[in-house]
Structure 1
Amino acid sequence: MSWAPGPGLWRWALAIVTLLAWSPILSVLTASALADVLGCRLNEGTPHPCLLAGQDIGGTLYGMFVMGWFGLLTFPFAIGTALAWAWLGARALWRRFQ
């Protein structure tokens, strides 16, 4: 008797890989949006002061922004997970309408 993972396990594994692959991209988008809302300067050269509720979060925003360079390594996996989720969605729709 052999053990085979169920469909739920594959979705959980894909969800974890998706989170890991997209995290650098999401980090950059979050840092950019937060800096824009707070009116702060943000670039990958140096951290700049940025106040949120009286606390300087410029270093944190800088770290989040520079983490985007990891996206060069994870971007192919991010595209792969997007295609996998699209395939799973299309397959579910196909089965529903048959």
Structure 2
Amino acid sequence: MAERFFRWHIMVPLILLIIGLLPLFSALLTATVADVFNCRADEGGAYPCIVAGIDIGGLLSSGGMMAWLAVFSLPFVALTAFLWLMFAVIWTFVPPK
């Protein structure tokens, strides 16, 4: 019966978790860019950050706020991935009637 367990039974939850973690990666990238260019990036607002003659302060502010999106979206995505895996295991190992 395990032959009914396809690769996409595992791939879908992994893709969902990666999608749920993307806002967190965005916030980490924002913090790294702000640190490299010696800029200030926090939730308090957009601060001037000139890189190659372009002010990226607003972009850094938006990227930093993505961490809050991860706080709210990751539990829902993790629950969806868990339920998907449970249904996949049941579908694989419970014989059809």
| TM-score normalised by structure 2 residue count | 0.66
Residue equivalent to 1:62? 61
Higher mean alpha-carbon deviation, 53-62 vs 68-77, is at 68-77
How many angstroms apart in 1 are the aligned matches of 2:9 and 2:55?
42
State the partner residue of 1:21. 20
After TM superposition, the score normalised by the length of structure 1 is 0.65
Superposition map of 1:33-44 within 5 A = 33-44=32-43
Percent of residue pairs identical: 31
Q: Tell me: higher relative CO, structure 1 or 2? Use CA pairs within 8 A at least 6 residues apart.
A: 2
Consecutive unaligned residues in structure 2, runs of 5 or more: 83-97
User: Residues 53-92 of structure 1 correspond to what in structure 2 (within 5 A)?
Assistant: 53-76=52-75
Question: In 1, Cα distance between the equivalents of 2:32 and 2:76?
Answer: 24
Unaligned runs of 5+ in 1: 84-98
Computing the radius of gyration from Cα coordinates, the structure with the larger value is 2
Measure, in 1, the Cα distance between the counterparts of 2:76 and 2:67: 14
1:22 alignment partner AA:
L
